[in-house]
Structure 1
Amino acid sequence: MDLTSSRPATRTELRCVRLLLRCTGAAELLATVLTEGPGWITGEGSALYLLDSDGMLRLAASHGLPDWAHERYNLVDPTSDLPAALALRRRETVLLSPDRTRGDQPGTNHGRGTGLVALAVMPLVVDGVPIGALAVALAHRGTVPQRDVETLETIAEACAHRLSHLIDHVQAASPVPEGIRTASYQGDRPLLSLAVRAAGAGAFERDLVTGETTWDSRAYQVVGLPPPPEGDTAPAPDLSRVVHPEDLPDLQAGMADALAAGGPYRLDYRVVHADGTIIRVDESGEVMRDLHGRPVRIAGLLTARDRPAYPERSGPEEGVEPSADASRAGTRSLLLLSLTRALSRAVTVRDVTTTLTDIARPALGAASVVLDLVDEGRLLPVSPAVYGGPYRSELNRLHELSAGVMQQSLARAVPLFSEEDGPGPGGGRLTPSAWAVLPLVASGRQVGSCLITFDTARIFSREDRTMYSAFAGILAQSLERARLYDIHHHRATELQRAMLPRSLPRLAGIVSTARYLPGTEGMQIGGDWYDLLRLPDGAVGLVIGDVQGHNAEASAVMGQLRSGLRAYATDGHDPAATLARTSRLLAELDTDLFATCLYLTLDPATGTLRGARAGHPPPIRISGGSASELELPGGPPLGVAPGWTYQLTVHGLAVGETLLTYTDGLVEDRGEDYDDSVRRMVGGLELWARQSAGVGADGAQDSLEGLAEALTLNVTQRNSRPDDVALLLLHRISTDAATRR
């Protein structure tokens, strides 16, 4: 085995390889990789596959995979497009980003990072003979540096050689390390199935993306229905047909809470058998989420309990006493309360539509939801009911068919309901079996209209209609509040952007690009700014800064600082003197805010680079195949010490070199040390530098734009962005190339 590489291995890597070559089984190998390998291997979602005698990739050990992923991906066809199969077939490492792992791939945990890459899958091959595949979750931010890819491949090669030896020579049995699961899970399934059957439980699974729910034959028996004749599983029946009418709203309320919280849940309710017998059922399951926190799947068990002692009822109206009416009203109130809680956490219109899709739709047992909002007197769709699912085109068609009914309901301000044998909203193949159209009116203003459809026919009782009407009012208020927030955010963002350059000037000898992203918390407005200046002596001025705070005052102070610094710079002051004067300006303003700032000047003809720094992150120079922070001594932030004399530092920027300046929102993450975040970004920049080494002046702009997109995409993948982000990239080209441009 050749463990040499283009750089010396660290002590951690050497120790990891040495320990791998002593392991006595697949579980110990995976545990060693996770505990002794580099710290940026997070562990959650990692797996080790081995080829079995049938040529299939079988899961031998895993860490952090949920039961459903462990079961679904226990056996992988080497000819499939799953990562383990692709890596083994191509004989190369496969890197997957979080947006690719949230769908068909096993869900992984980002660990400490939220970068572009969430999973790395390496083939296990010895002397050309395939053995299996190793998948590990990563904490990288941005592109994985090539040196880290080499480390992963070295570890995988050590695993492959050890496994090959164990397969050929040793039948070893070692204790399974804590946290590691082995293939015995699959062997335990018959015992688990036997235990479930002995308990009289039935299994179910619900795909929240498509809305499809599957029950096994025992689940049908639990609710008193004949099992499906065609096999062990079948589409689930309509719960409104089997759940006791008094308990249905309570069940829907419990499901809404479970969907909002995620994870394990437990519900109990009564079901009515065909002969009128009433049985109490326990439902135990788990709501599973994707990497973005949205519920995507439910799986669980239904267990019948003993018959209760209260009188049996066969229908919603027959033999209902006044106390039962009160009970039914109470359970519907619980459902409304659950939906209200979920909607109260929604801030933007997008949040409201996501709540409607992810929580309200499955809780109500609906097949789809179409939501329209009033915009300049017209109803316009804002949200398909199935995000990313296979029925998007059908939902768009459903909206077209239902537009007339939704407009009519809003104009009359009266909910419309279609029950059994009622006409659908548009007719044709897409006509649902039952539907409700809810006018959304808040404070006397028309907000929109909502269509809720059901796959099976149903009767909307008086209580149901009252409940849906109340839900329409709650939804309308939430949408109105969210629209006001969105308008405020849009105006704040526009104010912020208005204070930034609309475009960067085209200057001789350089190529440049910039990006700005507002924060996603609070007012979503901040004080980050950047500027590119044409100086009187022919030099180029590069400015980037960050005013403390995330409010309108921070944005206003930023505008004043930008104007003042531009004036001092164009008067001919060097970067150190410019920052000193700007600091005094900020101290004289009627504000308690301070600001960090970086100011550089570049002579495009000679490459002379002068700079000064006031508490701001240093720039990063990208040259050849390397990237490193520019040594630039810093001083206090602007406004903190008005009499401070900043140090002027002189460097050089060669033709073909690139400078990255940025605000700390680009790398700052609450779950990771700031210095580690910067190091990960620098590693990604090194890889970009190697990939773009052969790009000439004509392709420099496109290459720079690609780098800016990669850096900002890394930020947008985060679940939360508490700070705004600004970056400015500058690439020096020869003056001859600049003339040709």
Structure 2
Amino acid sequence: MGERRTQDPQIMWTDLVSEERKRLLTAVGDDLRGIEVLRFAIQQAVAELAGLGGMVHLGSPGYGGGLRLAVTSGLPPAFTRVWERIDGNGPLAPARAFRDGGFVRVPMAKLTGEMPEDGATASRRPDRAAAGSWSWPVGTAMAAVPLLGPGGPIGTLSIVTISPHEPSAGQRAFLDTLGRWTGERLNRSTAPPPGPALPEPEQPTDAHPQQDPQEVGTWDWNIWTGDVIWNDAMLTLLGLGPGTFDGRIETWMGTIHPEDLPWVLSDIDEAIRTGRMHSTEYRVCRPDGTSGWVRVRGRPEFDENGEPAHMVGTLWNVTKTHDVLETVMEPQTRNAERASVARASHIRQLTRALAEAVAVRDVVDAAADHILPLFGASGLILAFLEGDRLRPVGFTGYPTEVIEQVTQMPASWGLPITGVLREHSPIFISSLEECIESYPMTADLPVVGDKQAWAFLPLIASGRPVGSCVVSFTDPRQFTGEERNLLTTLSGLVAQAMERARLYDREHTRAQELQRGLLPRELPDLPAVTAAARYLPAGKDMEVGGDWYDVIPLSADRVAIVIGDVMGHGVTEAATMGRLRTAVRTLADLELPPDELLTHLNDVVSDLGDDFYATCLYLVYDATTRSCVLTRAGHPPPAVVHPDGSVHFPDADPNSPLGAATPPFDTVRMELPEGSLLVLYTDGLVESATLDIDQGMAHLARTLSSTVSGALCGHEDHATTPDATRLHCAECLESLCDTLVTTLLPVRQGTADDAALLVVRTHALPKDDMATWPLPEHPKAAGEAREHVRTQLSAWHLDDLSMTTELLASELVGNVVRHAKGPIHLRLLRSNVLTCEVSDGSLTTPRIRRAADTDEGGRGLQLVSAIAHRWGTRFTDSGKCIWTEQPLVCPSPALLPEQSGLDLYDLLDDE
């Protein structure tokens, strides 16, 4: 017995959806013409295969003309430019479908490898030479079907799909039907678009006997070579200069209006195949921006083998005749024509808007702007299905409380807005009475009460329901068959756009969360600096950038300020940025000088691989000396703004970017007056495709000079209230950031780079908050240190900290006397914390070690660590400095060292 096979339910469902789509094709009226037919066909095919996008090629006139790209949707221009003209006898999927007259599917990896890369082609179109390097996910393929006219294929429809599986039988059947339907529509459109028709002359030579012969163009086209010979009148009629026509048929075809091009090419191709006269009218778009109507007649000529070799004919201007006929048309005819044109225009605009929609909000706006006026509707609701409920994502013509009530409606209620999802078919209700009779539970619902007619439409994408669409009307309405079919068809377009936009919004939200997680959520409030920052993404795309910044507090009222830019965009670059920011914070905690820190950071980037590069600027500001030390690796210099408004950029070697640099890094030291500004930025803020970085920096300097006085206003008036000063200046810096962004953003139009901006105002530590003493290299130095601490803290009214600070200073000085060398200095700093520093001339680094119970020493740093809030070591030009920090409140008794087994007073007496 043979094995019993059961068809996959998913395939059965897919085939069922395909059958529904085939029925929808019959519902499309004659409003779609020419290029709009092609756009509609692409969208239906993309929806059927859940593809990325598609394109249509038409057979260029003549047997040797190949295939010419007519329209694309959903594919990037960098990709479609490679497919503008392909060889009809070549191996590519569109060409094979055109020749074979049937369905073709080819993996993209193989397809792009077959793109031509000969020298002539590559030199003419550089992007073709790179076609083979286009990267596609595994399983991506191109499916192509021919567009069949009465005489055979007239073009091809190609879809790029990410599915690794062959289309089902139902999908294949739909694509074949779509190809025939599109070809028939194009053949049906081989007449001028809606407008007045001209009488057909019997002979081209006597069509307009009164017309000046010099205004009639004559032409001779070699069908096999594509060369065209014509008179000067052709140049005038088509608006081409004598030196601009290259004698090629492609140049002539390029003057045809894009909406007329499909049916013109189809008519020429049919005339060549059948040997009949080619006679038509179409619109031309001249290079100077003008347009008009022309009439063309051509007769094919055959060689000795009976094959078409040439086509010769005439062309003349009929724009005036069209204008005259427009004015004498009957008003009713003109009104009907205008209504038809208006409806076709709305459908074209809706199709275009949905194709260009990126986010869900864009889809809602497109539907509201084009569907409502198309039918004269007054209300629209778009809702996603989430679990057992609908979540409205956009609405118009309804109050908010109605939308909130829709949110609370379970799908199990059986209301029409949810019932369409179960039945997968629309529901049309023509009056309030019909609604209440069919759905009694809706009588008290406001979603029903203020409307009189409704079209409830399911949103079906890739064979599954994703939500509902409600189009409502203020007055009762009898829906015609054409309106029902059109609404159903448009709901399919909206569903595909909604599903695509929902995926975009979801990924975009994740990208934004990733970006926010990698950048500081807020900048620290420090006594030494006040800072504000902005991150400027390049555009709407979902890719995160590699720009970053940070403000890192160091010891002794010193602050590290850093900004960097990882070259490239994407998750990999964002992850690299996160690594570098973490590495910088770790290295900054080690109190490394800027040049040494960048040396270590260069090693980190180099270890990531040869394809990773980053720029970075790292500086350290010391509020006790108002000095600044900076180092940069391939990064633009900071703008330094002095209190008088003058702006300058430190002149220093930028070094090479991280990953390509060779240490050591050059450093710059400078002194900043109180209240100076440091403006750090990435190149995306001052550089674009139309603006080099020097011009951008000059523009930044002018903007800073003219606005900095406003940003710093009032700080002198608050000099006696430091807290109010910092708050006020923070607001000023935020305003300054907004001004810089607003001013510089228009200049950087055209850039694809992100940008980061960090504005920092520096503050000097008052001299009254600093105290320094030299100490002798003698055991008595510890006692002197305690005396200095006791006296100074009493003067600062910090007596509660005296005991712990004396102990810290005594222990640190005692360690210097025992284990290091002079000169010895003690310094106290009062800011938001109390800092106690002991510096010496030794380069040895003290470390905490675990002392045994019988050891007589080794517990000093344990004591320091137990008492101090923070402590550490940094190297100086003359040696090292050991520092401790304590909050400006009395520490809890639990923090004192009695529990460690040490006697505080015994320790002080021993010293």
Normalising by the residue count of structure 2, what TM-score does the alignment of the two structures yield?
0.41
Matched, 1:733 2:752: no
* 1:651 and 2:670 aligned: yes
The equivalent of 2:599 in structure 1 is 580
**Residues 675, 548 of structure 1: alpha-carbon distance in 2 compared, 3 angstrom cutoff:** same
Deviation string, structure 1 residues 303-345 (Cα, Å, up to 9, x no partner): 66435999x999x9xxxxxxxxxxx9x9999976764443122
Structure 1 position 562, deviation (Å): 2.1
Offset at 1:407? 4.2
Aligned to 2:493: 474
Contact 1:538/1:603 (<8 A) preserved: yes
Distance 1:265 1:720 in 2: 27
User: In the alignment, what sits opposite 2:384?
Assistant: 373
Of 688, 708, 723, the match for 1:689: 708
Deviation at 1:702, TM superposition (A): 1.8
Q: 1:461 to 1:500 in 2, by over 3 A?
A: same
| Match runs of 1:583-602 below 5 Å | 583-602=602-621
Match of 2:566 among 547, 564, 567: 547
Equivalent residue of 1:465, what SS?
helix
CA distance in 2, matches of 1:720, 1:654: 38
Partners of 2:386 and 2:592 lie apart in 1 by 52
Please name the residue that 1:724 is paired with: 754
Trace 1:85-484 onto structure 2 (pairs within 5 A).
305-306=328-329, 339-375=350-386, 377-385=388-396, 395-396=399-400, 399=403, 406-410=417-421, 413-419=424-430, 431-432=450-451, 434-454=453-473, 457-484=476-503
Cα distance, 1:678 vs structure 2? 3.5
In 1, distance between residues paired with 2:326 and 2:377? 24
Contact 1:612 1:648 in 2 (8 A): yes
Change (3 A) 1:733 1:497: same
| Partner deviation per Cα, 1:114-136 (whole Å, 9 max, x = no partner) | xxxxxxxxxxxxxxxxxxxxxxx
Query: For residues 561-603 of structure 1, what are the alpha-carbon distances to aligned partners after superposition, in whole Å with 9 as ceiling and x for unaligned?
Result: 2233333333333222322332233122224121111111100
Note the C-alpha offset of 1:676.
Answer: 3.9
> Are 2:737 and 1:708 aligned?
yes
Q: Name the structure 2 match of 1:605.
A: 624
Counterpart mapping for 1:41-120 below 5 A: none
- Residues of 1 paired with 2:737 and 2:349: CA distance? 43
Aligned CA distance change for structure 1 residues 680 and 643 (closer, same or farther; 3 Å): closer
Residue 369 of structure 1 aligns to which amino acid in structure 2? Answer: L
**What is the aligned partner in structure 2 of residue 293 from structure 1?**
none
Change (3 A) 1:631 1:423: farther
Q: Judge which range, 552-561 or 530-539, deviates more.
A: 530-539
TM-aligned CA distance change 1:423 to 1:603, over 3 Å: farther
1:503 maps to amino acid? E
2:329 is matched by which residue type in structure 1? Answer: D
How far, CA to CA, are the matches of 1:656 and 1:706 in structure 2? 17
Amino acid at match of 1:415: P
CA contact (8 A) 1:520 1:720 kept: no
Task: Report SS of the residue matched to 2:543.
Answer: coil
Most deviating of 496-505 and 592-601: 496-505
Paired residue secondary structure (2:569): coil
- The count of aligned residue pairs is 427
Paired amino acid for 1:453: S
SS state at 2:731 partner: helix
Give 1:504's match in structure 2, choosing from 519, 523, 532: 523
Amino acid at match of 1:681: L
SS of residue paired to 2:392: strand
- Closer, same or farther: CA 475–582 of 1 in aligned 2, 3 Å: same
User: Are the counterparts in 2 of residues 414 and 438 from structure 1 also a CA contact under 8 Å?
Assistant: yes
Partner of 1:176: none
Q: Percent of aligned pairs with the same residue?
A: 33
Q: CA RMSD in A?
A: 4.4
CA–CA separation in structure 2 for the residues paired with 1:669 and 1:605: 39
Mapped contact 2:527–2:832 kept (Cα < 8 A):
no
- CA shift for structure 1 position 674: 4.3
Q: Which has the higher helix share?
A: 2
Q: Distance in 1 between matches of 2:671 and 2:560?
A: 14
Matched to 1:306, the amino acid is: M
- The structural deviation recorded for 1:354 is 2.9
Q: Provide the rounded CA distance (Å) in 1 between the counterparts of 2:567 and 2:709.
A: 36
> Per-residue CA shift, 1:400-437, capped at 9, x if unaligned?
68776534544554423233676688569983454323
Q: Deviations over 1:634-687 (max 9, x none)?
A: 334423533243211011222222211111223444454544444343333233
Q: Which protein has greater RCO, CA pairs closer than 8 Å, 6+ apart?
A: 1
Distance 1:439 1:632, change over 3 A: farther
Q: Does 1:493 align with 2:512?
A: yes
Change (3 A) 1:722 1:435: farther
Tell me: CA distance 1:383–1:723, structure 2 relative to 1, closer, same or farther (3 Å).
farther
C-alpha change, 1:492 and 1:740, in structure 2 (3 Å) is closer
SS in 2 for 1:704: helix
- 2-side partners of 1:308 and 1:620: how far apart? 68
Distance 1:456 1:266, change over 3 A: farther
C-alpha offsets along residues 483-528 of structure 1, whole Å, 9 cap, x if unaligned? Answer: 1122122222222322223333333322122232433254431111
One-letter amino acid of the structure 2 residue matched with residue 694 of structure 1? G
Q: Is the 8 A contact 1:547 1:596 kept in 2?
A: yes
Structure 1 range deviating more: 511-520 or 479-488: 511-520
Q: Residues 641, 428 of structure 1: CA spacing in aligned structure 2 closer, same or farther, 3 A cutoff?
A: closer
Q: Distance in 2 between matches of 1:354 and 1:474?
A: 14
Q: Is the contact made by 2:613 and 2:660 (CA closer than 8 Å) also made in structure 1?
A: no
Aligned mates of 1:523, 1:441 — CA distance in 2 = 25
Deviates more, 1:587-596 or 1:546-555: 587-596
CA contact (8 A) 2:643 2:673 kept: no
Return the offset for 1:700. Answer: 1.4
Q: Is the 8 A contact 1:666 1:725 kept in 2?
A: yes
2:649 is matched with which residue: 609, 626, 630?
Answer: 630
Report how far residue 706 of structure 1 moved: 2.4
Give 5+ residue unaligned stretches, structure 1.
1-249, 252-263, 268-301, 317-327, 386-390
Q: For 1:309 and 1:560, locate their aligned partners in 2 and report how far apart those are by CA, in whole Å.
A: 71
TM-score for the superposition, normalised by structure 1: 0.50
Does the C-alpha gap of structure 1 residues 665 and 351 become closer, same or farther in structure 2, counting only changes over 3 Å?
farther
Paired residue secondary structure (1:483): helix
Aligned 8 A contact 2:378 2:472 in 1: yes
Cα 1:371–1:397 shift into 2, 3 Å: same
Report if the CA contact (8 A) 2:459-2:494 is conserved.
Answer: yes
CA contact (8 A) 1:659 1:729 kept: yes
Distance 1:437 1:534 in 2: 60
Query: Is the alpha carbon distance of 1:344 and 1:546 closer, same or farther for their aligned partners in structure 2, counting shifts above 3 Å?
Result: same
Q: Contact (CA 8 Å) 1:520, 1:721: kept in 2 or not?
A: no
**Aligned partner of 2:639: which letter?**
I
